[in-house]
Structure 1
Amino acid sequence: MRTDPSAAMTIFTRLGFAARGLLYLVIGLLVLRSGRTEDATGALGVVAEGGGRILLLLIILGFLAYGLWRLADAAFNVERHGSDGRGKRERVGAAVSGVVHLFLAWQALRLFRGTGAGGGGADSGAEQGAATALQLPLGTFMLEIAGLVLLGVGVAQLIKAWKADFLRHLEPRVAGQPWARWTGQGGYAARGLVFLITGSFLVSAGLEQKSREAGGMEEALDWLTSPWDSIVAVGLFLFGLYCLIEARYRMLNDVPVGKLAAKARDKLPV
């Protein structure tokens, strides 16, 4: 019996939603239980230490499928976004999300092979990236633009939390449940605040031309004072729970893997 590749990819994409949720649960719990701050890469290291190789392998498969699904959505409009400005922004966001999760899959693979490091070092990834950008022509301008983009994403996440339009992706019987709404709203609001903080870090790094001003989620959580650090941590934990809800109840359109592969073969030189 042959397995439908489109159906298989959908199953692994749901696994990717679950893996994404697991990382946010870990990030939130670390802050609440011990005050320890990590970004997604650091959370992967924590999961690798406590969950073992089988769990890490499932995360790799999940993020790989999730990343490819997001990229397919951006390229082929799998989720049937509108042709207006909002639809175009959603497809751009899907492309960025796809790249990010393929990077996380690669990071998880490095941990699986024993060549990756969990947790942050003296210099964060954002700080290293800012240092590289500042060495390029127009690097200061690039940092400022990147920071403004993150600020825009943060505002968009807060608007999404307020309107709760994320519920349209869930099965109707779940989308109407108050627990689904409040879980998603708390999660998106927390993510919005984190994006606003990291965006302001990048803008500051560009204006002052100092890479040490840049920072990601870990630095954003470190920057928050009590009780805001705990409040945002609870929100990130809620976002993790909402990702688990999506893993089970999100309505997903299958990626036509077979058709796309056939088109790619047709374009190959004979």
Structure 2
Amino acid sequence: MVDKSEKFNWFVRLGYFSRAILYFVLGLIALTSAGAISQGTDGIFRAVEEFPGGNVLLWIMVVGLFAYALFRFASPLFDIENIGSDAKGWGKRIGHAGSGIAHLVLAWTAYQFATTSSGGSGGSGASEATAGVLSIDFGGVVIGILGIAFFIAALAQAKKAISGDFMNRISASAPSYTRMLGGAGFGARAVVYAVIGWSLVNAGFMSGGAEDVKTLGGAVASLAGTGWLFTITALGLLLFGVFSLILSRYRIIPELDRDAGVPQFRTS
């Protein structure tokens, strides 16, 4: 009989597997298809849709991305990874909540493609949501603060890339090249998060409009004219997909039981 903890582990591992598909396809189409990457995040799911068995993959991504979002929400709600409740701990837990929201949006986009023949929302979802927030009192401040949060997240991604402390959360049985893959992937994500952060700060505090706000795919597409930076970022995102696939097998998943003790991967 499979207990709750084992079911939870498989649920989270499916989330990492879905994230692997997402980033691998994002990096692949950025390197090989200018037309697809220009469509932003919709281009990622449209590319998956066109794969053999693409609709099945989309449904796997719907469930997996939703699972990953729930896993991230468990951090601020229950401190499942025992990060702590000091300022540093809450900073990381709030960051995990932001990741949860982002992956819920991705899961919803995957659902739209999985359930409709034409798929997608035309890439306007982020703009519509931003326009709605900007229309309320202090909406610009909210969007601007979210942009600052993305800048902070970008710095955190860069720190992971340099320090390699993410390896503390991975089984020692993982392949020896996992550190390299993760470093390249987190470095690429730092660039993408910075682009998204700038688009939000521009929309919230400066002269930019809601239509200028970048999603994951849109941020990569905006780098298309930067030459080597675009190529290195796209390659890093593809490698992050491979890294996420390794995590789906070797990531140390904390127990659901809050009384189980501090996980072995906790860092100071």
Shorter-chain TM-score bucket reads 0.7 to 0.9
1:187 to 167, 185, 188: 185
Larger of the two Rg values belongs to structure: 1
* Among candidates 88, 91, 95, match of residue 90 of structure 2: 88
Letter in 2 for 1:98: G
Which secondary structure does the structure 2 equivalent of 1:174 belong to? coil
> Is 1:170–2:156 an aligned residue pair?
no
Post-superposition offset of 1:209: 5.0
Distance 1:42 1:208, change over 3 A: same
Q: Alpha-carbon deviation of 1:204?
A: 1.6
Establish whether residue 117 from structure 1 lines up as the match of residue 158 from structure 2: no
Q: More displaced, 77-86 or 131-140?
A: 77-86
Work out the percentage of aligned pairs sharing the same amino acid: 34
Task: State the alpha-carbon separation in 2 of the partners of residues 40 and 209 from structure 1.
Answer: 20
Q: Is the 8 A contact 1:107 1:116 kept in 2?
A: no
Give, in whole Å, the separation in 1 of the partners of 2:145 and 2:197.
Answer: 9
**Aligned partner of residue 174 in structure 2, secondary structure:** helix
User: Unaligned 5+ residue runs, structure 1?
Assistant: 258-270
Q: CA separation of 1:115/1:75 partners in 2, compared to 1, >3 Å: closer, same or farther?
A: farther
Structure 2: distance between partners of 1:256 and 1:106: 29
Higher mean alpha-carbon deviation, 138-147 vs 22-31, is at 138-147
Cα distance in 2 between the residues matched to 1:83 and 1:144: 25
Provide TM-score, normalisation by structure 1.
Answer: 0.84
**CA distance in structure 1 between the aligned counterparts of 2:202 and 2:18, rounded to whole angstroms:** 32
SS of 1:200's equivalent?
helix
Distance in 1, Cα, partners of 2:239 & 2:108: 26
- What TM-score, normalized to structure 2? 0.84
Q: Structure 1 116/16 Cα, relative in aligned 2: closer, same or farther at 3 Å?
A: farther
Q: Judge conservation of contact 1:70–1:95 (CA < 8 Å) in 2.
A: yes
Instruction: Verify the 8 A CA contact 2:40 2:221 in the aligned structure 1.
Output: no
Structure 2: any 5+ residue segments left out of the alignment? 259-268
RMSD of Structure 2 on Structure 1 (CA): 2.3
How far apart, CA to CA, are the structure 1 residues paired with 2:203 and 2:9? 40
Matched residue type, 2:59 = L
Aligned twin of 1:29: 28
Q: Would the aligned equivalents of 2:40 and 2:219 in 1 still touch at CA under 8 Å?
A: no
Q: Extract structure 1 runs of 4+ deviating beyond 6 A.
A: none
